[in-house]
Structure 1
Amino acid sequence: MESKTSITIALDAMGGDHGPQVVLSGAQIALERHPDVRFLLFGQEASVLPVLEQMPKLKARSVFRHCEISIRMDDKPSQALRQGRYKSSMWQAIEAVKTGEAAVAVSAGNTGALMAMAKFCLRTMANIERPAIAAIWPTERGESVVLDVGATIGADSQQLIDFSVMGAAMARALFHIERPTVGLLNIGTEEVKGQDDVKEAGRLLKETELAGLEYRGFVEGNDLGKGTVDVVVTEGFTGNIALKTAEGTARQIASYLRAAMTRTWMAKLGYFFAKSAFDRLRDKMDPRKVNGGVFLGLNGVVIKSHGSSDAEGTAAAIDVAYAMAANGLLAKIEADLGDVYAHISSPVVVEPVVDEPDVEDVR
């Protein structure tokens, strides 16, 4: 079981586009930030051990376990379940959370496979039909939690309420906010606008006094960047498009700035004098700093790192994993969901569905 004096993180060392070299380098950076962390490393020994031998500090804080199979980034979730169950590095990292050997699992592997395996191994919480992926979103005020960004395509009113509660619990664990503000993403702030499920979820949240969150009503797309609320809730199709649009826009702006700053010698001179300001802007727009999608609604915590992340991005995902474990995310979600179903009458108990999830690989 998890030690009370340290936090153990199960790490899929084979996940992502770059494999053990980047994953272990990220773990080494995270270890410097969190000296009390321990790692359970899962992967193929021929690939992992030569890299681990070059990192003595990480090796001293890690236990390695050989796995026969590595899930490919292009494997279908159903295929990954059939071939990689029990024997893959991804599955064994998740199973370590189920058995209590680790507090949280982190993988940069195939998103659909990770979600399918996590649902099959950990199962969903009581009354939760489908889990959500929550992302950390940089804003003018700091950071917000946005969910769902790709796990569930479409969501009814009860699922949107569940997402609101789980997102608020994550915000409390990550940002240490006693009562996070929550908004439902909609095409307008007026109560008459939007789909019926969104309007119904808004009505119920408005009428129900919940200790774990403060409902602020509908928010629009431009509120994502403003940081109008601490938690923005939507279904996975819309959330995934919003996430990828934001990432693409950030890259576009960065490209424009680079071109503008190198076009003439006067521009280069101006950049020289304003370099510190541009460095701060680049740091703020760096997607590596907000890496780590959290799977919410499962009986265990799983973090999805971007498949293309470098070592710094991997370390950021591990930072999120550490914060979720250290601040008792699961306990907060369970308590808050209990509060919801105590206020909302006749909840429908849904048996966990183990099928191929509607997940886009948000690498």
Structure 2
Amino acid sequence: MSERFVASHIKALKPSGIRRFFDLAQSMEGVISLGVGEPDFTTPWSVIEASYHSLERGFTAYTPNAGLLALRQSICRFLDTRFHVQYHPEDEVIVTVGASQAIDLAFRAMLNPGDEVIVMEPSFVSYVPTITLAGGVPVVVDTYEKDAFKLSKDAVEAAITDKTKAILICSPNNPTGAVLTKEDLMGISEVIKRHDLFVISDEIYADLLYDDMYTSIASLEGMKERTLLVSGFSKAFAMTGWRLGYVCGPTALIAEMLKIHQYTIMSAPTMAQYGAVEALENGLSEVEMMRESYKQRRNYVVKTLTRMGLDCHMPGGAFYVFPSIKSTGLTSSEFAERLLMEEKVAVVPGNVFGDSGEGYIRCSYAASMKQLIEAMERMAHFIKQLTAEGS
């Protein structure tokens, strides 16, 4: 097929670096994958059962474009109880096909060509391409291990121009696990209000916080009206394959996003929505169990990596560690490729999350302890071999 039939801005997009390593690992036998950010738990049975029952009752038609009212009401109760932010289910919530679609809707509804969006990096691989596809210009602000990979208000201030429209934050962060505290967010919110900006807050990992209370930037004074709160069911409820998320925000912007949603998606899957109602109403104890298990795994992995000689900050949330491999003398890609080929352990090179991720790798500890122990033993052997090579 002639290349003239492919849009130039699409051709310029790079494929996901995460998927490349995942696909390579899938083609090999005996690989332990710490690559893809997906819980190893099965979706809670009561959620599956609720979905089954919706099918048995014949609930197989489209839902309202914005999602089942019962689900939107559950989302609003959950956010009020959990994070002390109040939304109206009728006109301030859209149920989406995953949190990723919510972010896509946000930028397509907000951005005019050339509008700038500040993005903290290292960051999830889809953020920058999504902004670009919507006609915006991503402005990257690097975060650093010495600052626990936190975004500072001063760094935000320095990145603002007369074209800046919004800032995208993710806390807990993928890939670093960094958490922005209430104090961090208050400082950033003051900059946002002073420059009349908007914020898209990706809170998909908010329920996977280990040591502190979570603060949503939307709950801070004067921020709800200039925030889109994005979340979903994939991570906390182990529902990645259900593809269900949501976005909450000001009525006027939600209405514009809903127009795009109507024309491109119609509505999120009906059976998944019935399952999500059950998840929010009766599944939070399952989330607590999973979170405690992740915390134990996190502690083990950080301790073990540190013993190997790899500097690794303690992540406050999500289910990733982001150790430095700079001491090995290898680039992130070299380290990840050799580890896969020589020890059959799949991790993600840090540079796929932005230039500031070079010198690091992302390891997901959303795997069984048995797999993690074996993976750490293989990685320790790999580090020992590298040390022998260099001596």
Q: TM-score, normalised by structure 1?
A: 0.30
TM-score by length of 2: 0.28
